[in-house]
Structure 1
Amino acid sequence: MLDVATTRFRIAALGLLPMSFLAACTSGPGGGPVHGSSASPSRTTTTAAQQEEKLGAEARSALQATATGSTVASGLERVSDGLHTDPGLSAGTAYRLTVVCAGTGTVAIEFAPAGAAVRKPFSCDGTTVLERFTAKQAQHVDINGGRGATGMIAWRIERV
Structure 2
Amino acid sequence: MNIQKAALLVISSLILALFMLANTMTPSPGTSSGNGNPALFILFILIPLFTIMVALWISLLHTYPFRLPVYLMSMFLIVLHLSIAFVYQKIQLAQYREVIEKALIKRNGFADAAYIEDITAGLSFHVNNQYFNFNTYLMFLTFSLFSAMLFTLLDLWEKRKKNGQPDFFKKEGGGRR
Instruction: Find the structure with the greater CA-based Rg.
Output: 1
Determine which structure has the larger helix proportion and give its number: 2
Same fold by TM-score, threshold 0.5 exceeded? no
Using structure 1 for the length normalisation, give the TM-score.
0.27
Using structure 2 for the length normalisation, give the TM-score.
0.25
Determine which structure has the larger strand proportion and give its number: 1
- Where relative contact order (Cα < 8 A, 6+ residues apart) is larger, the structure is 2
